Amino acid sequence: MKIKSALGATITALLAVNSQAMEVITVHSQHHDTGARLMQIPAQKFATDTADWLDGVVGAGVNKNGPITGLAQYRGMFAQRINVASNGLNFSGAGPNSMDTPLSYTPAIIIANMDIYRGIAPVSAGIDTLGGAIDVNMRRAELDSPLTVNGRINAQDNGSGFNASLAGGAGNSQFAWLAYADTRNSNEQDAKERAIPNSDYQRHQYGVLTTSDLNQGRLFANIHRTDTKQSGTAALPMDIDYIDTTRFELSGEHEISDTTLLWGVGFQDGEHGMDNYQQRALSTAQKARYTLALGRSTSLFAHIKTGAWLWGYDGSINRHDADITNPNNDAFFVENFNNVADDRHSLFTEYTFSHRKLNTTVGARLKYNVADADKVSSTMAMMMPAVATLQTRFNDADKSVSDTTFDVVINNRYTLNSHSDLSYGVAIKERAASYQARYLWLPMQATGGLADGKTYVGNINLKPETAYQANVGWSYTNERLSIKPQLFYQRIDNYIQGTPSEDSVVNMVAMIIWAGRASL
């Protein structure tokens, strides 16, 4: 059993206050003024990647595997342990190494703000929030609005970088639209008169968002396109050749008496090519590798709020494929992931109440996680008995697994006086393993963006992680200053991480790969 514990403290000194039980940090773009009750962190107006905004959030940060490949980090947790949603929908990227991170799919021109829960995220924040939760709130097409156009252009000498964004829309009392386009590119940047390897990027994004008025609510229909060309990811074993993704979203808001219904369904279809030879030098042509990955992701949610109660369903249905070839050797082929299924369904309830100076939110979420994969193959198995053994082991194994997990969260905020309050919370949260951690059958670095240079193999029967969390904070606010220190503790049982392999077959294949005789 693996255990990971963390004890830390954070201090915030900002000109804002939030009096709710769950503190939310709102990161605003330059398009909107700051709100009065939420903590605001100024967004980076010309950031290459939306994930860069997190650099201004206390306790948060970005793991930069490349200039447009930023993985969210919060209080020591990162990537798949942090729930990243866009208007309540969260999608899985196409690639097994997270080159197309969730935050990379939404350009700044259509972001209204980003909500980040400081401390323990409530169960309503998403299916898996063991490491925290981020919700990207996109701009809406506004009804009864005149034609409005706004844009931004930024150029930089280093790398000859150029970013340009344009958005425009209009609406009457029944229907509104908002169209946008964003393009950004740069050659390799220089440091001390030397080029930084794999620091180039090129990405184009565009889409249309619509709003329709209903008798008792609104309907939103959106389509987004991401077209990424060759871009560097120096921390990973390959660079981006292209990412071609289309996303469809349909959601609604309805008011019925004293009940509010929020629902949404989205589908994302992505194709991702990556390689290790077009943007970096190889010692021999036989080491050249090209990976083609496909990802289909469906996200669903339905939330009902009535009085102090919030009830909801969230679902995530994902399929993944990835094949590896050598452009200089037609006989080389590795089926990395074959029709991998990673489905998560959950129900939750949350109750919020106030009594005098105390504000409390209590929530519970039940989750059903299902994963499976088809058989794999590789031409290496015909030449290397060790690879054939790993392939046979995987194909003969029962790859269908299911885990039932749960989250329980209690957050409190107690008002001490007109200038200060005390917040405290506890939680137990669980998370099922990712598909990479389960179904990586051949020693590789396809680890969801870990980028530590090590080679891994998966374990189909990994147990869910279980986190025990506690958070205590105090805030003081007057007309000029707000200071909010927090102390947090987290212990994770069955923490999923790499351990030295004691399998002689796995070690033999890994040594061959590292020696370069059959580099993957």
Please check whether residue 21 is in contact with residue 412, taking contact to mean a CB–CB distance below 8 angstroms. yes
Short-list 491, 421, 519, CA closest to 20:
421
Q: What is the pLDDT of residues 233-247, one digit of tens each?
A: 999 999 999 999 999
The answer, yes or no, to whether residue 518 has pLDDT greater than 90, is no
Looking up tokens 């829309």 gives: 169
CA atoms of 119 and 353, how far apart (whole Å): 19
The answer, yes or no, to whether residue 355 has pLDDT greater than 70, is yes
Please check whether residue 110 is in contact with residue 143, taking contact to mean a CB–CB distance below 8 angstroms. no
Q: Please give the share of the chain, as a percent, with pLDDT higher than 90.
A: 75
Please check whether residue 288 is in contact with residue 259, taking contact to mean a CB–CB distance below 8 angstroms. no
Q: Which residues contact residue 201 at a Cβ distance below 8 angstroms, ignoring those fewer than 6 apart?
A: 48, 66, 67, 68, 184, 185, 186, 228, 231, 232
Of the spans 33-42, 58-67, 385-394, which averages the highest pLDDT? 385-394
The answer, yes or no, to whether residue 453 has pLDDT greater than 50, is yes
Q: What is the pLDDT of residues 249-295, one digit of tens each?
A: 999 999 988 999 999 999 999 999 999 999 999 988 889 999 999 99
Residue 429 C-beta-side C-alpha neighbours within 13 Å: 31
Short-list 400, 302, 371, CA closest to 92:
371
CA atoms of 519 and 326, how far apart (whole Å): 10
Please check whether residue 107 is in contact with residue 209, taking contact to mean a CB–CB distance below 8 angstroms. no
pLDDT of residue 31: 41
DSSP letters spanning 385-408: HHHHHHHHHHHHS---EEEEEEEE
pLDDT of residue 100: 94
> Sorting pLDDT into bands at 50, 70 and 90, what band is 113?
confident
* Segments in 239-326 forming alpha helices (H): none
Please check whether residue 239 is in contact with residue 204, taking contact to mean a CB–CB distance below 8 angstroms. no
CA atoms of 168 and 401, how far apart (whole Å): 47
Mean pLDDT taken over the chain: 90
> Sorting pLDDT into bands at 50, 70 and 90, what band is 14?
very low
> Sorting pLDDT into bands at 50, 70 and 90, what band is 25?
confident
Q: Which two tokens stand for residue 503?
A: 């399998």
Please check whether residue 89 is in contact with residue 249, taking contact to mean a CB–CB distance below 8 angstroms. yes
Of the spans 55-59, 346-350, 441-445, which averages the highest pLDDT? 346-350
Structure letter (DSSP) for residue 419: S
* Residue type present at position 386: A
Short-list 511, 481, 448, 507, CA closest to 16:
481
- Domains of the chain by residue range: 3-146+289-515
- Starting at the edge strand found earlier in the chain, the sheet holding 111-117 runs 39-42, 24-28, 111-117, 133-138, 83-86
520 sits in which H/E element: none
pLDDT of residue 5: 62
Please check whether residue 494 is in contact with residue 130, taking contact to mean a CB–CB distance below 8 angstroms. no
DSSP letters spanning 422-441: EEEEEEEEEEPPPHHHHH--
The answer, yes or no, to whether residue 45 has pLDDT greater than 90, is no
- Helix, strand, or coil here: 511? helix
CA atoms of 240 and 272, how far apart (whole Å): 8
458-486 burial: b if 16+ Cβ within 10 Å, else e: bebebebbbbebbbbbebbbeeeebebeb
Of the spans 99-113, 159-173, 428-442, which averages the highest pLDDT? 428-442
Q: What is the pLDDT of residues 199-237, one digit of tens each?
A: 999 999 999 999 999 988 999 999 999 999 999 999 999
pLDDT of residue 18: 37
> Sorting pLDDT into bands at 50, 70 and 90, what band is 3?
low
pLDDT of residue 41: 45
- Helix, strand, or coil here: 2? coil
What is the average pLDDT across 87-96?
Answer: 93
The answer, yes or no, to whether residue 43 has pLDDT greater than 70, is no
The pairing of strands 83-86 and 133-138 is parallel
Beta-bridge partners for 135: 85, 115
> How is the chain split among helix, strand and coil, in percent rounded to 5?
10, 55, 35
The answer, yes or no, to whether residue 10 has pLDDT greater than 90, is no
Return the higher-pLDDT residue of 146 and 513. Answer: 146
Short-list 351, 472, 484, CA closest to 409:
351
Return the higher-pLDDT residue of 479 and 310. Answer: 310
CA atoms of 362 and 205, how far apart (whole Å): 39
pLDDT of residue 7: 66
pLDDT of residue 193: 77
pLDDT of residue 371: 98
Structure letter (DSSP) for residue 76: T
pLDDT of residue 4: 55
Q: What is the pLDDT of residues 454-510, one digit of tens each?
A: 999 999 999 999 999 999 999 999 888 989 999 999 999 999 998 999 999 999 999
CA atoms of 324 and 292, how far apart (whole Å): 7
Return the higher-pLDDT residue of 89 and 32. Answer: 89
Q: Measured at the alpha carbon of residue 184, what is the angle toward residues 179 and 185, in degrees to the nearest 5? A: 155
pLDDT of residue 16: 35
What is the average pLDDT across 322-341?
Answer: 96
pLDDT of residue 29: 56
Please check whether residue 243 is in contact with residue 229, taking contact to mean a CB–CB distance below 8 angstroms. no
CA atoms of 339 and 358, how far apart (whole Å): 50
